[in-house]
Structures are given as C-alpha cells and as structure tokens.
C-alpha cells in the first residue's frame, strides 16, 4: 500500500499483482471458501487474520479473485454486522495509544506530528466510508468517542 503522507510506496516498494480471474490451480470451490470465512469470523478473527490464514493454511491467494466479491461484502451478505471497518478501527487504536503516550511525554514533538497524521488518516477514511454508506452520514472522529470504540 502506498504511503499517504509520503510520496512513496512501502518499505519493500512492492505492489500487488493485477489479477481479475480466479487462479486455475485453485481447487477449493466458492462454498468451501465462504464457509471457512464465516466460521473464522465467528471464532473472532478479523478480516486480515482470515485472509492470512486462508493464504497460509489453505492456499487461497486472494479472496476477491477467488469469490468475485470482497470479504467485507461477503460477510455483509451473510448477515454479519461489523460496526466499523478494520482499517479505521486499527487507526483509532493507534491514535488512542499515541494520545496516552502524549499525556505522559508532553515534549515528544515527533509523536505529536505522528498523532496529527494518524488523525488525518482517520478523518479521510471516515469521509470515504460515509460516502460509501458504511458509516453514518456526518460521522466525525473524536478522541473520546474513539476511546469508547476501541476500549483498549
């Protein structure tokens, strides 16, 4: 994934290969993949943990190419309710940790800048998810609300 506040790619400068079709060598059918995803979600795994386990244990390289829809859409179709998407939740956890650090270390200006960038990412993602209908309209980020959501 590209960096948001720096004009470069990640540490390895890698990009995901462009594929639109299911790999020919994949012998697992759609129903099995769907059942595995729902079962792992009921066990408490996050969507990224499910993807990693399906890749490493079951040899399924990409959910979207194997099923034709994303894991979030699949879980939504199956009636599973996700309050907040995983990426915005992880960013909120990071912001809460940084704010806790800032309350103890007031002069840490580098962490202050990192907290500002993280909160900017949260607001940007919030606007995106509001447009897509995942979050309610006029959703806004506040630190006290984030502390309640992530509850570290």
Per-residue pLDDT at 35: 94
Per-residue pLDDT at 24: 84
Per-residue pLDDT at 1: 46
In-domain check, residue 14: no
In-domain check, residue 19: no
Low-confidence ranges of the chain (pLDDT < 50): 1
Per-residue pLDDT at 152: 56
In-domain check, residue 47: yes
Same domain for 146 and 93? yes
Same domain for 123 and 73? no
Same domain for 92 and 63? no
- Of 77, 102, 135, which closes a domain? 77
Cα 4 to Cα 9, 68, 121, 122, 124, distances in angstroms = 9, 27, 8, 12, 10
Same domain for 48 and 94? no
Per-residue pLDDT at 16: 73
Same domain for 112 and 71? no
CATH number, domain containing residue 96:
1.10.287.10
Same domain for 123 and 98? yes
- Domain count along the chain: 2
Which residue is associated with the tokens 């940007």?
Answer: 124
Same domain for 132 and 113? yes
Same domain for 94 and 145? yes
Same domain for 141 and 101? yes
Q: Which domain holds residue 45?
A: 30-77
How far is residue 63 CA from its own chain's centroid?
14
Same domain for 132 and 97? yes
């Amino acid at each position: 994934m590209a960096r948001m506040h720096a004009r470069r790619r990640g540490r390895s400068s890698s990009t995901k290969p462009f594929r639109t079709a299911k790999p020919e060598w994949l012998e697992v059918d759609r129903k099995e993949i769907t059942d595995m995803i729902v079962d792992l979600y009921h066990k408490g795994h996050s969507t990224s943990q499910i993807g990693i386990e399906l890749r490493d244990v079951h040899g399924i390289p990409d959910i979207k190419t194997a099923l034709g829809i994303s894991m979030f859409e699949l879980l939504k179709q199956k009636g599973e309710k996700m309050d907040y998407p995983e990426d915005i939740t992880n960013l909120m956890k990071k912001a809460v940790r940084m704010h806790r650090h800032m309350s103890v270390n007031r002069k840490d200006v580098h962490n202050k800048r990192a907290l500002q960038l993280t909160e900017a990412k949260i607001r940007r993602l919030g606007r995106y998810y509001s447009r897509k209908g995942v979050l309610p309209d006029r959703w806004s980020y506040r630190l006290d609300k984030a502390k309640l959501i992530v509850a570290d």
